[in-house]
Structure 1
Amino acid sequence: MPASSSAELLKSVAYWPNHLITLAEWSLLPENNRHCRELVDGVLLVAPQPPRHQLAVWRLAAQLEPALPRRVAAMARIELIIDDGTPPTVRVPDVLVVGGDAGADHATRVRPPDVLAAIEIVSPGSRRTDRVMKFAEYAEAGIAHYWLLDIEATSRLTVYRLRHQTYEPNGVYTGRVTLDLDGLPLPLDLDALTALRTPA
């Protein structure tokens, strides 16, 4: 594609496109750390990322990472290709636990077979998406574990396990817990995900 065409395409897609976006166009979008962008059936969705939410995302990944074996990684805000057809769907979960080559290489774009667990942190603007749409999409994609973390008051983690192509609740946790992810013990301090730092 000529440079001028790429620039025009990027300009047209970067704000509010008037057409369904292809995966190639999605890949041309500039980085944006202020918003979470996802692509659902070719439609660009943009959601704000409150500071408390962002803090919990990065702290959660940081807590998970030391407990994971080689070739498994906890990664924040990487692209999950749910459907690469026309039109495509690309989700950007808050945290993914990925394995195999994707985990070893710390890939920036993964597919459902790479994913051991998808973790979403529920915020006021994402409740329906996280509890209904992604709940169904991730199950249909065959992702074995789906965790929903609510940080509105006390941090509360609801764990779901895929059985018979649907998610079934597998426990609700607060405080300090050790979760089992297919034989991997994962210690977490849920309260620390949003705790304010103590002044020195």
Structure 2
Amino acid sequence: MGGITMTAKAGDHTQHRQPDGSAWPMPPQDGYTVDDYFALDLPPHTEMIDGSLVFVSPQRKFHSLVMFLLELGLRQTIPEHLRVRREMAVILTHKTVPEPDLVVVTAESDGEDELTRYQASDVVLAIEVVSPDSESRDRDTKPLKYAAAGIPHFWLVEMDPRTKRPVVHTHIRSATGHGYEPTGVHRDRLKVDAPFTIDIDLGEYDRL
């Protein structure tokens, strides 16, 4: 997910502006917390990374189409004890609340329609579609934090510069919990057995 980071440095009055030009409340000395994040009236899809707020940039068509393709594909084979959700907040720590592009969560944790967040322990798979302005977060920052929080599976999706189609990099959490280990690179077809049996024709992207 693309975005612009708003740092949480006390005393900096120039970086904390809402879209209408009015000022955000000054962040605490040590940055925002989960309680702050859900209490503030934030723009849709704002994330919090290490106490700093990250505002999203306009979404590219590629990003939107890939999310649709993967969500549809996941729903075709997802077992009854799991659910697929898009752009939902996930609490990793008391200062980090990202919003993965897609998540697979346990049905038990899915709750009522008013649900606004999941815990990291609810998430089986987190998926990020790389955006130009959030490349380092999608490739480095978020995977490390997802793994540290115990999320077992992670997919990173990027655009193939040659074909303009999606490429899906699948990963499993390392035994040490320090990041993920690659399990495959999928271009034409995404066919895996974990976290459940999945078979998605990535070539369908051309027909969306």
**Bucket of the pairwise TM-score, normalised by the shorter protein:** 0.7 to 0.9
* Superposition map of 1:136-155 within 5 A: 136-152=144-160, 153-155=164-166
* Separation in structure 2 between the aligned mates of residue 13 and residue 42 of structure 1, nearest angstrom: 17
Q: TM-score, normalised by structure 2?
A: 0.76
* Separation in structure 2 between the aligned mates of residue 13 and residue 188 of structure 1, nearest angstrom: 42
- Bigger share in strand: 1
What RMSD in Å do the two structures reach over aligned CA positions?
Answer: 2.3
Q: 1:32 to 1:54 in 2, by over 3 A?
A: farther
* Separation in structure 1 between the aligned mates of residue 41 and residue 73 of structure 2, nearest angstrom: 29
Match of 2:52 in 1: 43
* Superposition map of 1:11-160 within 5 A: 17=24, 18-19=26-27, 20-30=31-41, 32=43, 36-48=45-57, 49-84=59-94, 88-103=95-110, 107-152=115-160, 153-160=164-171
* Separation in structure 1 between the aligned mates of residue 207 and residue 43 of structure 2, nearest angstrom: 26
Contact 2:80 2:107 in 1 (8 A): no
Cα distance, 1:159 vs. partner?
Answer: 0.7
Match of 2:10 in 1: none
- Bigger share in helix: 1
How many residues are treated as equivalent by the alignment? Answer: 179
Q: 1:104 to 1:13 in 2, by over 3 A?
A: same
Contact 1:71 1:104 in 2 (8 A): no
Higher RCO (CA-CA < 8 Å; seq separation 6+): 2
Match of 1:6 in 2: none
Match of 1:176 in 2: 189
Q: Identical aligned pairs, as a percentage?
A: 28
2:73 is paired with a residue whose SS is helix
For residues 113-159 of structure 1, give each alpha carbon's deviation from its aligned partner in whole angstroms, at most 9, with x where no partner exists. 11111110011112110111012101111111110011252311111
Contact 1:96 1:117 in 2 (8 A): yes
5+ long unaligned stretches in structure 2: 1-15
5+ long unaligned stretches in structure 1: 1-11
